[in-house]
């Protein structure tokens, strides 16, 4: 199937999200749509998938114009879409999820044929090596496995063009590598893939053709041989520093101290194991490790979402082990959560309201039981400019923003007040290259103002470029603390559980 988008224009009021966009996707081609968050990539694909009706232009399949009045029409025409936030029911099995909306039935009485759905999952999974159990509950699957369920769902409906909207935004590096392999296998089998992303390295690794969109317009096409700097320049419209520039740290007094901290969950699983850690004011301590080795639980222990089974936590010399989340925030703890949708914002609240979630009780924004809308609005306008949050109105719901701009709202909220400690967990997950540069610079600026920073990231490049020291976690323990310039090979061995001294010896030999 050859797919063409011709002169596609989509407006939301005065905002032109897509401005006369032309794109061609050839059969069996991996065609990357590269652009910043808010560039109009997802809007364009929602037009293609029948979720939006274009104001101008047309969609052509094999040269013939088609009209989609909804996703059902797009699916019938051979187009499937895996959204960034999966459309799955947690309590359903894999087979039930794949069949949902297109349930196979028995000839008699129209009863749903679950066996047929199971066969479909097994057939597609076997063909592409997905390793999915049809009877597994969605809620029990890893994020990467849930994404494979979405892909199986699309392929089971005979999708010839598969749209992947920011597919690696929620994946670990290992899951991302698996997805790259799957994409190549799908393309080799004849499926066309439209790959929406802002990650330069992934585009260069997997794309056959790259179309760059900036502020709603196609600004050019590029080949996978283009350098990351060239692609970043096309995306942002200016030169982008892909490496962090920072002065040496000037450590001050201890900002955070953990003493023998452990955490056992309700099922009796030891997730954080006797962690001893000190973070100085004015330094960035990176926490490296494969996802699922206790980093998330350690972050939640610091904020107060979890209570240590044993050990003590001190903030600026004061024991806060049993302090509430609110009290820790009031005492100068800033927190950027790894999942902005679930833990970082209230979707029904405006951008302005989300910017004061941790300060609405202060005298600046309230009088007694009443908040001060004018002050909240003025604060939002100020932070909008300072943190380059791209939006049309600060009083619109935060869900109207792109993922990168939602992240900037959270960063602005946490860094717009005096902090003793900033815990930044996956601070650039799902964020484009321009926003990554901005957030990295703000974290360094926070460090230079005298704040202690804990950086938790599954991106090893991010850990190495931002951190002053790196602590490596494996199965809930700190394997060792090393300088930021430690070679990748040593960090990789430590992330696999090799003790620091042994890892360094192997590197030296």
Among 164-173, 176-185, 287-296, which stretch is predicted with the lowest mean pLDDT?
A: 164-173
Per-residue CA distances from 458 to 68, 136, 288, 442, 464 (Å): 39, 27, 7, 19, 11
In the chain the domains, ranked by start, together with CATH numbers, are 3-236 (3.40.50.300), 254-345+418-508 (3.40.50.300)
pLDDT tens-digit profile of 280-300?
999 999 999 877 789 999 999
Other C-beta atoms within 10 Å of 91: how many?
A: 10
Nearest CA to 79 among 163, 188, 11? Answer: 163
pLDDT value at residue 383: 94
pLDDT value at residue 307: 95
Among 21-35, 195-209, 469-483, which stretch is predicted with the lowest mean pLDDT?
A: 195-209
**Mean pLDDT along residues 305-331:** 95
User: Given a cut of 80, is residue 433 above it in pLDDT?
Assistant: no
pLDDT tens-digit profile of 343-375?
999 999 999 999 999 988 888 899 888 989 999
pLDDT value at residue 108: 63
- Strands 370-371 and 366-367 turn out to be antiparallel
How sure is the predictor about 117, in pLDDT bands with cuts at 50, 70 and 90?
confident
User: Given a cut of 80, is residue 173 above it in pLDDT?
Assistant: no
Task: Tell me which of 83 and 26 has the higher pLDDT.
Answer: 26
Determine the angle formed by the axes of helices 488-495 and 500-508, rounding to 10 degrees.
Answer: 140
User: Given a cut of 90, is residue 174 above it in pLDDT?
Assistant: no
Contact in structure between 426 and 456 (CB atoms under 8 Å):
yes
User: Given a cut of 90, is residue 59 above it in pLDDT?
Assistant: yes
How sure is the predictor about 493, in pLDDT bands with cuts at 50, 70 and 90?
confident
User: Given a cut of 90, is residue 228 above it in pLDDT?
Assistant: no
The rounded distance, in Å, linking the Cα atoms of 499 and 490 is 10
pLDDT value at residue 156: 84
pLDDT value at residue 178: 81
Nearest CA to 57 among 96, 9, 123, 104? Answer: 9
pLDDT value at residue 170: 63
**Mean pLDDT along residues 78-101:** 86
What is the residue-averaged pLDDT of the chain? 88
**Mean pLDDT along residues 190-215:** 88
**Mean pLDDT along residues 147-174:** 81
How sure is the predictor about 213, in pLDDT bands with cuts at 50, 70 and 90?
very high
How sure is the predictor about 99, in pLDDT bands with cuts at 50, 70 and 90?
confident
SS (H, E, C) 16-83: EEEEEEEEEECCCCEEEEECCCCCCHHHHHHHHCCCCCCCEEEEEECCEEECCCCHHHHHHCCEEEEC
How sure is the predictor about 306, in pLDDT bands with cuts at 50, 70 and 90?
very high
**Mean pLDDT along residues 120-130:** 83
**Mean pLDDT along residues 239-265:** 87
pLDDT tens-digit profile of 496-507?
888 888 888 887
pLDDT value at residue 3: 92
Contact in structure between 261 and 313 (CB atoms under 8 Å):
yes
The rounded distance, in Å, linking the Cα atoms of 112 and 103 is 6
**Mean pLDDT along residues 403-413:** 90
User: Given a cut of 90, is residue 255 above it in pLDDT?
Assistant: yes
The rounded distance, in Å, linking the Cα atoms of 50 and 65 is 14
**Mean pLDDT along residues 487-501:** 84
pLDDT value at residue 169: 66
């Amino acid at each position: 199937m050859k797919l063409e988008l011709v002169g596609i224009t989509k407006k939301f009021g005065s905002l032109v999200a897509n401005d006369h966009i032309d794109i061609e996707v050839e059969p069996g081609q991996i065609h990357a749509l590269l652009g910043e968050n808010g560039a109009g990539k997802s809007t364009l694909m929602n037009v293609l998938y029948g979720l939006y009706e274009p104001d101008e232009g047309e969609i052509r399949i094999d040269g013939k114009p088609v009209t989609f009045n909804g996703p059902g029409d797009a699916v019938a025409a051979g187009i499937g879409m895996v959204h960034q936030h999966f459309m799955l029911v947690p309590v359903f099995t894999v087979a039930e999820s794949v069949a949902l909306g297109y349930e196979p039935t028995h000839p008699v009485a129209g009863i749903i044929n679950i066996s047929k759905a199971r066969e479909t999952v097994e057939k597609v999974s076997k063909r592409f090596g997905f390793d999915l159990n049809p009877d597994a509950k969605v809620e029990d699957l890893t994020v990467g496995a849930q994404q494979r369920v979405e892909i199986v769902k699309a392929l089971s409906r005979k999708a010839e063009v598969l749209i992947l909207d920011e597919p690696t935004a929620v994946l670990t590096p290992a899951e991302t590598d698996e997805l790259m392999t799957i994409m190549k296998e799908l393309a080799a089998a004849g499926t066309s893939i439209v790959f929406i992303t802002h990650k330069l390295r992934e585009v260069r690794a997997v794309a056959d053709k790259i179309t760059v969109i900036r502020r709603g317009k196609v600004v050019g096409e590029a080949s996978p041989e283009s350098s990351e700097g060239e692609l970043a320049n096309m995306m942002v419209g200016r030169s982008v520093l892909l490496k962090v520039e920072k002065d040496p740290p000037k450590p001050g007094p201890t900002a955070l101290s953990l003493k023998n901290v452990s955490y056992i969950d309700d099922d009796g699983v030891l997730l954080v194991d006797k962690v001893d850690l000190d973070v100085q004011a004015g330094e960035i301590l990176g926490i490296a490790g494969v996802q699922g080795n206790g980093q998330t639980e350690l972050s939640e222990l610091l904020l107060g979402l979890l209570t240590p089974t044993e050990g003590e936590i001190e903030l600026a010399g004061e024991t806060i082990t049993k302090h509430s989340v609110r009290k820790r925030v009031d005492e100068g703890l800033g927190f950027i959560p790894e999942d902005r949708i679930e833990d970082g914002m209230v979707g029904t609240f405006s951008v302005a309201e989300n910017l004061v979630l941790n300060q609405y009780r202060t005298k600046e924004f309230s009088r007694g039981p009443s908040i001060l809308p004018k002050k909240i609005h003025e604060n939002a306008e100020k932070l909008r400019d300072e943190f380059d949050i791209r939006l049309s109105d600060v009083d619109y719901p935060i869900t109207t923003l792109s993922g990168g701009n939602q992240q900037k709202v959270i960063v602005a909220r946490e860094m717009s007040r005096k902090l003793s400690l900033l815990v930044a967990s996956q601070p650039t997950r799902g964020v484009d290259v321009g926003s990554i540069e901005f957030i990295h610079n703000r974290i360094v600026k926070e460090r230079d103002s005298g704040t202690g920073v804990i950086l938790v990231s599954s991106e090893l490049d991010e850990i190495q470029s931002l951190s002053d020291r790196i602590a490596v976690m494996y199965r809930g323990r700190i394997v060792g603390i090393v300088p930021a310039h430690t070679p990748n090979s040593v960090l990789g061995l430590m992330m696999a559980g090799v003790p620091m001294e042994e890892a360094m010896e192997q590197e030296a030999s």
